[in-house]
Amino acid sequence: MIDLNVPLKKSFTTYIGVDIGKKGGICVMNSDNETYKLHKIPIKLNDIDIPFIKDILENIVTSHFNKEGSKVVLIFEKLGLIYGSSKATAFSMGYQSGIFEGIGISLGCEVIKIPAVKWQKEMFKEIPEQKKPFGKRDTKKMALEAAKKIIKSKKVTENFIIGGKRIKIPHDGLVDAFLIAQYAKNLNL
């Protein structure tokens, strides 16, 4: 029998969206409020810094698993063929995907791999189609527009520019990581 006098505990989910790659990003987003944090994929000696990535994820997971009824969802792109990429790039991306999956599973995260076309279809719904010079779809521009639209609705001033004062270009990896996390949050995965 359920005691109706006891308040129900609200479940709390933390979403970790990852754009895999040396120029990728990590976005941590909570289900109970409108906050998020962004991290560039750490690089050490021209490769991803696996111990530092483990430390970042472990810190996030341990701080959020302390809340009763909470879960952590690690979501990143399911890799497919990337037209024009080299074998070395394909291997590196697969290696990084395995690193994130392994760390996520070892920390007790729910790990979800989502095809890029699936999250982009959902997040680009209200974004006008943009093309590159030769007619190919410009997903980077569309992603930035989608992120700006979401952030504007949240009244947050984050602009995805990480670096020194001279850098004026938004970081593609952070934009994609933000949208992947937002996709998971929107669908309550």
Q: How many Å apart are CA 94 and CA 40, to the nearest integer?
A: 18
Specify the number of domains making up the chain: 1
- Mention every residue, 6+ apart, whose C-beta is less than 8 A from residue 16: 26, 27, 28, 29, 57, 60, 72, 73, 74, 75, 104, 109, 181
Q: What is the mean pLDDT of the chain?
A: 79
- pLDDT value of residue 140: 85
Q: How many Å apart are CA 45 and CA 51, to the nearest integer?
A: 13
In a domain? residue 5: no
- pLDDT value of residue 62: 81
- pLDDT value of residue 6: 40
What residues make up the domain containing 74?
Answer: 12-186
More confident residue, 126 or 7: 126
Q: How many Å apart are CA 89 and CA 21, to the nearest integer?
A: 9
The tens digit of pLDDT for each residue in 16-59 reads: 999 988 888 888 888 776 677 888 888 888 888 889 989 888 88
Is the pLDDT at 155 greater than 80? The verdict is no
In a domain? residue 93: yes
Q: Are the beta carbons of 179 and 172 closer than 8 angstroms?
A: no
In a domain? residue 1: no
In a domain? residue 111: yes
- pLDDT value of residue 180: 93
- pLDDT value of residue 111: 93
Q: Select the highest-mean-pLDDT range: 94-98, 158-162, 177-181.
A: 177-181
The CATH code of the domain that includes 132 is 3.30.420.10
In a domain? residue 106: yes
> Bridge-partner residues for 17, per DSSP?
27, 75
In a domain? residue 65: yes
- pLDDT value of residue 168: 67
In a domain? residue 7: no
| Torsion region of 32: left, alpha or beta (phi above 0 gives left; psi -120 to 50 gives alpha) | alpha
What percent of the chain clears pLDDT 90, i.e. is strictly above it? Answer: 11
- Mention every residue, 6+ apart, whose C-beta is less than 8 A from residue 125: none
| Range with the poorest average pLDDT among 17-26, 27-36, 138-147, 161-170 | 161-170
Instruction: Read off the pLDDT of each residue in 76-96 and give the average, rounded to a whole number.
Output: 77
